[in-house]
Homo-oligomer: A and B are copies of this chain.
Amino acid sequence: MPTFIETLCQQAKAASRPMAQLSTGEKNAALLRVADRLSAERGDILAANRADLETAREAGLSPALLDRLMLDEARLAAIVADLCRVAELPDPVGTVFDEATLPNGLRIHKVRVPLGVLGVIYEARPNVTVDIAGLAIKSGNCAVLRGGSETLRSNVALAGAIRRGLVGTPIPADVVQLVTDTDRARVLELLQMDRTVDMIIPRGGAGLHEFCRQHSRIPVITGGIGICHLFVDASADLDRAVEVIRNAKVQRPTVCNALDTALVHQAVAGKFLPRLIERLAADGVSFHVDPAACDLLAGRSDAPVQVAGPEDFDTEWLSLALGLKVVSGLDEAVAHIAEHSTGHSDGILTEDEANARRFVAAVDSAVVYVNASTRFTDGAQMGLGAEIAISTQRLHARGPMALEELTTYKWVVEGEYHIRG
């Protein structure tokens, strides 16, 4: 007798076989049907969300969490609009590449196929339910969704609308499965379903990622944790460098591609640091500075500056805090990044092309920047049209993962009754 989780995953696996052979047109039409259904059921969806919000308020959830959980007409309309945009994205499935004819006449190529079944474990935000379902359907995959207990009613309403929207299309409703039992033991069980689930995507904090790595028999896409650096080289345009650092730190400090540490070349630190601090202090930024930077700032006791503690350069701030360190040059900057970066997004600000090349060669992060804000590490910003996760692991995909990263390939070998000699 299969368990609840086994049944969900087996249903998804069974649905994944026909999914792989659908045309782009069939998938796009189904996405638009789902979008219509979500709009039609918005009254029920918003009512379910209000019930989740009320419970969450009674449970004393923070205003930030309540905000992440909240849906209203405008937010739901935006979610539906995003889904319609997924229908417009190019479909990676069926793309042929690496074609060759071997000396013996065998013709070989690779063709993109869906990964199969995605297991997604996430918290709070109910929009993830629709985002993932949309990207999964577009890429020919099935999704087993396990959202947080605080959004259960919203997710039941959303996943129900998605499944009802699929009725009458060539796509079986079973491509989207919601784990409605929010006992944490079900997560553990899901991580063992390596016969039916092909990839686990955790969307949450470091604890969730660690839990998945520890317990999963299925490959886990870890990511989303960014201790991000920008190095201000001696040749940098300092005025513009201030603005890039400000953007990277201030524009949206709570996300993984926000800046955590600025490294400043000693040759320009005396000039640069006071300007940087003055500009960003006005935004409410507080600074954690190494002793060398401290010395340079002596006498500016009005600034929100404190000496960096031993953990500060290994902290993803997710707030208006910024580490500052003076370095002797590019080599020390690269060494600091190698030691402290999480391999998410790191960059150099410089006018020196040779230094830019050396930095790009030496820094091995998912996204390496020259003269740009780390905030561009984002599927939409990088022209991928959508994003399911930002990978900081090394296999399969690095950085923003979009539709193509939800596919794999198969080899096709065609011959004339070829035998191996």
Contact = CB atoms under 8 A, between A and B. Distances in A.
A298 interface: no
A220 to B, nearest CB: 8
For this chain, the copies found in one complex come to 2
Nearest to A20: B364
A418 B370 CA distance: 9
A396 B412 CA distance: 17
A361 interface: yes
Contact of A417 (B17, B243, B362): B243
A394 B116 contact: yes
A80 B272 CA distance: 57
A362 B21 contact: yes
B373 A420 contact: yes
Nearest to A245: B419
SS of A interface (majority): mixed
A168 to B, nearest CB: 24
Interface in A153-204: 194, 198-199
A350 B20 CA distance: 23
Interface string A54-75: 0000000000000000000000
Contact of A376 (B199, B347, B413): B413
Contact of A411 (B246, B368, B410, B413): B368
A267 interface: no
Given A199-B395, A408-B398, A418-B373, A367 B413 contact: yes
B240 A106 contact: no
Contacts of A17: 338, 364
Interface stretch (A122-130, A211-219, A274-282, A306-314): A211-219
A411 B395 contact: no
Nearest to A375: B420
A100 interface: yes
Interface core residue of A393, A410, A416 (most chain B CB under 10 Å) = A410
A332 interface: no
Interface string A290-328: 000000000000000000000000000000000000000
25 contacts: A20-B364, A106-B372, A108-B383, A199-B394, A213-B217, A214-B217, A219-B396, A244-B417, A247-B419, A356-B414, A364-B410, A366-B410, A366-B411, A367-B410, A369-B415, A370-B413, A371-B414, A372-B417, A373-B420, A376-B415, A376-B420, A395-B396, A398-B411, A399-B410, A399-B411
